[in-house]
Amino acid sequence: MGETKNFGLKVMNNGAKPTNYYFVDPKTNQRMENLEMTSSTTDAHHDSTPQVPSPSKSETADQNNSTINNNDIAYVKTEEDLLQQSANVGAACLEYPEGKTALQFSTVGAIGSYTDTTHQIIFAPLSPGYFRQEVVLEFEGTEKRIELTIIATFIKVPIFVAEPVVDMQCCVFDKLYRKKVVVKNRGKISFKVNAVVPHELRGFVEFNPDMGFIQPGVDFEIQMKVSERTSGNG
């Protein structure tokens, strides 16, 4: 979430005639509007906050006198205004421009004869969730249609483990077992990770180390120790 992921969709043409292709919404059978995030659209979105005109000298003097006479009230009001402004900016950053979604790409393209081209698709999520988009590729001058489904899952942080399910299989009582847990970072910055043992497993499971900083693109290994020292279901 908050980062972008590029994906290249390869389109191939084995014919002798160059052509254009279009993305079509299968629900309406109409060509999709451009989903590409342009700089003009982005600028217009961020500049939507009304501009406050600069006060004149006389207005400034009156404001200064008011601030001196009502220093505490002015301070509180200024702090509240700053907090509200900060909240408004944060909320605006988590909203897509009108007509845009987490999926961004140009809905038209061209391809030459006996060649292929890579159509860029960008995922830019602003909130966690699941995204699914069904599209159809249509080619100019032909009735050929290619159905595609684009799927993406957006998470808050780009940290994940190589094995989401750790199967210790059958453990023998009063024996020590070890398992390597590999934590990965697909993001662009480092993250601090804490390995916390659930309350009901304390005394049976131990992590070493139980804290670390995971660098981008570097695996971080945590040793998990399992020992059944008292009777129970292990």
Domain holding 137: CATH number?
2.60.40.10
168 & 57 share domain:
no
User: Total structural domains in the chain?
Assistant: 3
Residues 163 and 223 in one domain: yes
Residue 95 has pLDDT above 60, yes or no: yes
Q: Considering only CA atoms, which of 177, 213, 178 is closest in space to residue 195?
A: 213
Alpha carbons within 13 angstroms on the beta-carbon side of residue 43 total 3
> Which pLDDT tens digit goes with each residue over 173-203?
888 888 999 999 887 788 889 999 988 888 8
Residue 49 domain boundaries: 44-93
Same domain, 85 and 201: no
If you average pLDDT over each of 30-39, 58-67, 223-232, which comes out highest?
223-232
Residue 200 DSSP one-character state? G
Mean pLDDT of 153-176: 82
What pLDDT does residue 44 have? 33
